[in-house]
Amino acid sequence: MKTEPLFFAPVFKERIWGGTALASFGYDIPSERTGECWAFAAHQNGQSVVQNGMYKGLTLTELWEKHRHLFGHAEGDRFPLLTKILDANQDLSVQVHPNDEFARKRENGELGKTECWYVIDCKEDAEIVYGHHATTKEELISMIELKEWNRLLRRVKVKPGDFFHVPSGTVHAIGEGIQILETQQNSDTTYRLYDYDRKDAEGNLRELHLEKSIEVIDVPFTEHQPEIRQEQTNDLCVTTFIECPYFSVKKWEVKGTARLKQEKPFLLVSVIKGGGSITSNGHEYSLKKGDHILLPDGFGQFELSGHAECIVSSL
C-alpha cells in the first residue's frame, strides 16, 4: 500500500511571554500572547491532528497506538518526540528539566526532557541563558539564595541559524525577540528557577521550583555543543546538527529539485522558510512555510522541489 506524507495541524499555547510572530507562519493564532506552536505533539497537554488522507482527524497519539507500522514499529509506550516553534516576545523564565530517571520517579512516569534549539529568527543582540557559572552545588545554592542572578547565569548572544543542544540538567532560557524551533523528548516537565519577579494576569508571582531545580542542575556546567556537518549535493544542502540518543536533527535547504530517500522509522519535517513540493509515486504535495509533515516508514524515494528550508528530525 502506498504511504503518503501526513500533514499535521498544530496546537497553540498562550503564554505570559508570547506574542504575534507565529502569525508569520500563516497560522490563525489565538491571541497576542501566543507563545508556542506544538507542531508534532502527542502529549496529554496537547495533541496535533492529521489533516489529510485516510488518517485524517486522528491525533498523533492515536496514530502511534493504532498504526505503529507508520513508525517502522518503533518501540515505546508513547510517541518519543515533541516539536515546537516558540515566539519569545519577552524573556522566558530561567529553567531546567529533569532526566528520565528523575522524571519517572518524581513526575508520575513522565519522560525527562533533553531538547535542542534552532534559531529561526531573532532581533539584533538577542541572547539566551545557556548554563551557569557555579563550580559546586554549594556555590550554586548560595548564589540562588542570595539572588545573584547576574553572577550565576551564563548568557550567550545568538543569531538566525544558530543551534544549541540543551540536555536535561542544563540551566537555560530563551531571551526576548527570538523565534526558535525546538526538538525535544515528549515531556512537559519544567522546573522554574527564576522568573524576574514577574506577575501573572491575576497579579501573582509565578510558581518557582527551587528544590527540584537544585537537585537536577548539573554542576559544573559543561557545554554539549555537537559538531555540525554540512553536505551539498546539487540543489540540496543538508546540515546535520545533532545525532544523540534521543533524536537526530538536520536542516534541508533546497534551491531547485533534490532526490531524497526516507530510510528512518519516520521523519518529521517542518517548513520554516519558503515553499515547494514533495513528489512521491507520481503524486505531488505542495509545501509552504508553517507546514509540518510526517514522512512515514516505507515512504521511500521522493523529490523535494522549490526554494525552502526545513528542519527535519527523527529518532
Q: How far apart are CA 313 and CA 239, in angstroms?
A: 12
Catalytic residue among 154, 155, 192, 259: 192
97 is in an annotated binding site: yes
Q: Say if CB 73 and CB 298 are below 8 A apart.
A: no
Residues recorded for the chain: 315
Q: Is 115 annotated as contributing to ligand binding?
A: yes
Using CA atoms, how far apart are residues 25 and 181, in angstroms rounded to an integer? Answer: 12
Is 206 among the residues known to form the active site? no
DSSP assignments along the chain, one per residue: -----EEEE-EEEEEEEEESGGGGGT---SSTTEEEEEEE-EETTEE-EE-SGGGTT-BHHHHHHH-GGGGTT---SS--EEEEEEEESSPPPEEE---HHHHHHHTTT-----EEEEEEEE-TT-EEEEEE--SSHHHHHHHHHTT-HHHHEEEEE--TT-EEEE-TT--EEPPTTEEEEEEEES----EEEE-TT-B-TTSPBPP--HHHHHHH--SS----PPPPEEEEETTEEEEEEEE-SS-EEEEEEEEEEEEEEE-SSEEEEEEEEEEEEEEETTEEEEEETT-EEEEETT-EEEEEEEEEEEEEEE-
Contacts of 150 (CB under 8 A, 6+ apart): none
User: Which amino acids are annotated catalytic?
Assistant: 192
Q: Give binding residues for Zn(2+) as ranges.
A: 97, 115, 172
